A and B are shown apart, each in its own frame.
Chain A
Amino acid sequence: MSTLTALKDVTFERNLSFRKLKGKIFEILAFFAILLGIAMLLTLLVDVFLDGLPWLSTRLFTEFPSRFPEKAGLRSALQGSIWLMFLTALMAIPVGVGAGIYLEEFAPQNRITRFIEINVANLAGVPSIIYGLLGLGLFVRQLGLGRTLIAGAMTMALLVLPIIIVTTREAIRAVPNSIRQAALAIGATDWEVSRDHVLVYSAPAILTGVILAMSRAIGETAPLITIGALTYIAFDPKGPFDIFTVLPIQIFNWVSLPQPAFHGLAAAGIIILLIVLLSMNALAIWLRNRLTIHW
């Protein structure tokens, strides 16, 4: 008995405080890892703001790109981005939400369904530039659409489709089954259940996912460069069959130029891009918190 107590005192107790110390150090280290990520984010934001603030002016909204930094603006890029988002949303939202409904509410449990599901999961991991090659080969060349907004929007729609499908499915899954049963039991068809209940109650969450998907699309650059969106456009795009540029491509173009003045313009463009993105994110979070039904 006494030896056991002695053993405990000597080897275990002292050891424990050391072990606890190790744990504390690790905890601090782990927390530091997150802090480092946050610090990087802040550094990036501060750096961009310091670089871009002097160049931020209304001229950016009214002027076309130019060889002279003092005269250069984002007019065609901003309009191109708005057009592109509009056309992308027009195609991606119905198809993505529809596919999500199908997979969650209608699909039989069979091989075809599983195949589609694996497909969606895989597409979410395909690099965006590959979508660009698809768009180049299929929409620009094969369908002969050229380097137009519509070709860009179709490419972008395919790119965000998996995101919309996945978030739609998650949103739909949150609607309790008892609601579906209740509706079916008064003689509704499965489509009526989806139309009047499932979709209605999951709409805020679906919308949140759609906004996040569109905010991904707004910042995408690589696939649009691949399909040949231009960097220099000095007119307002008038319709889906016009050639175009977008905000991130214009930013890329300015970063690539050697003169520091253009880097300032790029930073100013980034500020605008980030403000748009943050507003979209804030809207998504607001929707999620405000309109979601708590079952």
Chain B
Amino acid sequence: MDNNHNTVLETKNLNIYYGDFLAIKDVNFKVFRHQITAIIGPSGCGKSTLLRSFNRMNELVPSARSEGKILFNGEDIYDPSIDPVEVRRRIGMVFQKPNPFPKSIYENIAWGLKINGFRGSKSELDDLVEQALRGAALWDEVKDKLDQSGLSLSGGQQQRLCIARAIAIKPEVILMDEPASALDPIATLKIEDLMRELKENYTIVIVTHNMQEAARVSDYTAMMMLTGDEERSGTVIEFDQTNVIFTRPKDKRTEDYITGRFG
């Protein structure tokens, strides 16, 4: 499966600890360019931990510590010479709960561009903001109220604003941690449609608890489970194309988990 696509992200024997607690253990998997990769698994198996390690957000937890490598375009993002700030600019993130800044809709998007060194004119900035909002399928809904607070939007709109904010700085990868779990079904469908569109230009990694969602939107799926002696550390037990995982999983535990959910 490696042959068809080129690899953007790759973990090599990744271990992540919180203090002495080994949260995820020996994870090896790949994220392919312009594909949607879903990470699924039971609660507490380390999905968020793994996702947050891709843009080095996890190291903001004071007790967190990692071993192994994560390669981004072949380069180890945990190399001491690399600044996490640059990693995060290349690898964006959308959170579980929408978290727009309490600034105007316009500023929500423009701020990321400004801090990341945008030096163009005001009209260029306007264009980039519009592009991002269009990219997140939000433009038509907010074009007349760009100076209103981001907090004044509905939950689903807020989440799309957060996606717009992430894509405005043109990252290569967008990480999404249960981006639709706080939203109603219609808003959820909008976000899923959006992901399919974004796939043209971006690589997406999504954590989800919703099996249908994983089956609907993703191209690849990584199944995580707690393993080890006391079953406390999570790891990726199976990684394959989504249709393979959902139709003929190789691992019995994957099958149990998926069929359990499907009922």
Residues of A whose CB lies within 8 Å of any CB of B are: 108-109, 176, 178-179, 181-189, 192, 196-197, 201, 293, 295
Contact = CB atoms under 8 A, between A and B. Distances in A.
B116 A187 contact: yes
Leading 9 A-B pairs by shortest Cβ distance: A187-B89, A186-B112, A178-B99, A185-B93, A187-B88, A182-B99, A192-B115, A293-B102, A188-B115
B176 to A, nearest CB: 11
Interface in B139-185: 162, 165-166, 168-169
B92 A182 contact: no
A185 B167 CA distance: 11
A186 B114 CA distance: 11
Interface residues of B, number: 26
Contacts of A196: 111, 115
Interface of A is mostly: helix
Interface of B: 55, 57, 60, 62, 85-86, 88-90, 92-93, 95, 97, 99-102, 111-112, 115-116, 162, 165-166, 168-169
Contacts of B116: 186-187
A186 B102 CA distance: 16
Nearest to A189: B85
B208 to A, nearest CB: 18
A261 B116 CA distance: 68
A176 B100 CA distance: 11
A284 to B, nearest CB: 22
Contact of B166 (A184, A185, A188, A293): A185
A181 B165 CA distance: 13
Contact of B88 (A108, A178, A185, A201): A185
A204 to B, nearest CB: 12
Contacts of A109: 62
Nearest to A192: B115
B62 A179 contact: no
A114 to B, nearest CB: 13
A187 B112 contact: yes
Contact of B99 (A179, A188, A192): A179
22 contacts: A176-B99, A179-B101, A181-B60, A181-B95, A182-B99, A182-B100, A184-B60, A184-B88, A185-B92, A186-B89, A186-B112, A186-B166, A186-B168, A187-B85, A188-B88, A188-B112, A188-B115, A196-B111, A197-B101, A201-B102, A293-B102, A295-B102
